[in-house]
Chain A
Amino acid sequence: MPESGFPALRAVRWDTVVGALLVVVLLLSFTTVDGFGNALNLSFLIGNTLPIALIALPMTLLVVSGEIDLSVASTAGLSGAVMGALWNQGMSIETIIPVCLLIGVVCGLVNGLLVTRLGLPSLAVTIGTLAAYRGIAQIVLGSDAVTDFPAQYLDFAAGRIGDTFVPYAFLPFLALLAVAVVALHATPFGRSLFAIGASEEAARFAGIRVKRQKLVLFTLTGLMASLTGVFWALHYASARYDNATGLELSVVAAVLLGGIDFDGGKGTLGGAVAGVFLLGALQNVMSLQDVSAQSQTVVTGVLLVLSVLGPRVARQLAVARARRRAVEPPTASKAPAPTP
């Protein structure tokens, strides 16, 4: 039936639109914007967008399954703060990083348990943990800003391969992206997430272990958030308790732009990543063109509203069109007029 094909087609189409927009923006900028197309600028663009991209990976999976986690930036900040505090205590960096990742896992677990075991709404809970984790970060590190991490780590996080546009840190990201794409689109685990997002009741009756999947997702999100926190502290060579403040809104905005439906059950990882890099590229280009920070904020807001209005309006138009077609007699039929 053509009707059932439409919703899925629509979801794919918005992702394609975003992907196409990204390509168009990149091409235009390469040719017309001075200072965009060189390796240094591109490496900065990628390096700056990486924290958002890293968190967008598990966030997409989470939103597809119908939940959300607004505490990611605070988890990142907490892991960065712990990293700084332990470093000041004289612990070795090889021990510190796994500990920080562990903290992220715990943060994610707490979120997941609150949502799955206690049945609390994830939006409200993660607003609470957003404050709580950031608060703990402040208690842990206080007013310090730790900057003297070992040079090899700093160079890895901030440097690029020779003189190309590829930052060292981009490669692990690509690997994680590949894992995420496969997990979401090619495994039963991923398919179960779409099912849970579309209808939790139905998924449970179909035998999917909804609570366990969600718990796993929240834990993964916490892990990625702490990884991002460590990356942030090394990339900017500065571990502070207020690192990555506000990052969650940027991730949500980018993921929304990429066509991930907040009601759950729809979206592709490609769209999310395209959304992230589209926003990053647009901001880079606007800055190069001397568009003020405030105007950039307005543009981001308008894009966001359009990105959700667009598909809805398109859907309503298509539904109206389909309804009209069903009412009208089929004019294309070659049935001969009845002869008297």
Chain B
Amino acid sequence: MRKATVRRTCAALAAVTSLALAATACGGTTKEDVKNEGGAAASAGKADPNAETKKGLTVGFLPKQVNNPYFTTADKGGEKAVKELGSTYKEVGPSSATDTAGQVSYVNTLTQQQVDAMAVSAQDPGALCTALKQAMKNGIKVVTYDSDTTPGCRNAFISQASAEDLGRTEVQLLAEQIGYKGEIAILSAAQTATNQNTWIEFMKDELKDPKYKDMKLVKVAYGNDDAQQSFQQTQGLLQEHPNLKGIISPTTVGIKAAAQYLSGSKYKGKVRLTGLGTPNDMRKYVKNGTVEAFELWDPAKLGELAARTAVALASGQITGQEGETFEAGAMGEYTIGKDGVISLGKPTVFNAGNIDQFDF
């Protein structure tokens, strides 16, 4: 009796497999058949730089994750700007940074609530597109900040610093600290994190420069933005490469886990650590000598610029085309770059000299 079932299952499997193979023989839709559409989704109509800044709008902020200290700071910056411009602010978002389905439903919620503009930090470059396009069809202006989607799904992207600037300056910062010589490693977030991967590509490119010829990138480890995992990945790095001289961790969770581990281990002071961290997180480690210098942009300014861009879009002052400029209040004038990308500026370097001036 059992053999008959097994035989029948095998027959079924064989049938399905041969059908599948037959389908291949008949040719099918493959990657090459699908064409890419590029460019930002510019809103209809022409930009009118002299248009009045509209008041009484509703701007919705949708970060990757609520209750994440980094995003809270950014969104508070946005809130301040929105209120200053005379509009209403709201923040919604999923409680987990890997809940793409949740983030999509929040885009829908904001659409249903008929906000005038939304600022989104996308968990995934493609997953939000259908919902965002629907929102834009309903006349809502979409701005992404911190983490972008594919350009066609939003009107503009506020980049914290250009990915290139970030990648290259990280390497430069570490190189200065280790004397331009030695093995280095990178402790990143999740393997799928788009912004981290972009920065890492630029880091690798920077290392090709002859002045880094005595430095070698031996490994990229992934801590998944989890404290315990980042800890163990750091331990692994140090055990696998006992001559490691420096670590770059371009994620606020990774750098504080690595710093916490190093400061309690025999490697404190011997292995240099730098990366992207917040002053509040890193204050203790800078003071006790584990970390010499690290960098970040000001998340509050990021949120503020996102808010101002959203309002400018909703007021018709810009449409997201390359070359347009607009006034961002006290922050000055900003020009829209290729694919609707607006760069906040250069990252700030924090060290023992200036860390006490900041509180975020």
Contact = CB atoms under 8 A, between A and B. Distances in A.
A102 B13 CA distance: 8
Contacts of A34: 112-113
A237 B130 contact: yes
Contacts of A149: 34
Contacts of B109: 35, 284, 287-288
Interface stretch (B91-99, B227-235, B333-341): B91-99
Most chain-B CB neighbours within 10 Å: which of A143, A292, A297? A143
Interface in A235-252: 236-238, 240-243, 245-246
Interface in A186-215: 209, 212, 215
Given A44-B131, A92-B27, A142 B191 contact: yes
Contacts of A158: 130
A99 B108 CA distance: 33
A147 to B, nearest CB: 3
B317 interface: no
B79 interface: no
A158 B33 CA distance: 20
A238 B150 CA distance: 12
A221 to B, nearest CB: 15
Interface string A275-301: 000000001100110101110010000
Interface stretch (B16-24, B69-77, B155-163, B237-245): B16-24
Nearest to B108: A44
Interface stretch (B121-129, B204-212, B259-267, B351-359): B121-129
B113 A95 contact: no
Nearest to B32: A90
B134 interface: yes
A99 B127 contact: no
Interface string A137-149: 0100011110111
A284 B105 contact: yes
B5 A98 contact: no
Contact of A293 (B1, B34, B93): B93
A212 B92 CA distance: 48
Contact of A91 (B24, B67, B93, B101): B24
Given A92-B23, A150-B29, A241-B192, A288 B112 contact: yes
Closest CB pairs A-B (n = 3): A92-B28, A35-B112, A143-B191
Given A44-B104, A287-B92, 11 more contacts: A88-B31, A92-B27, A143-B197, A145-B126, A150-B29, A151-B34, A154-B130, A236-B104, A236-B126, A237-B127, A245-B98
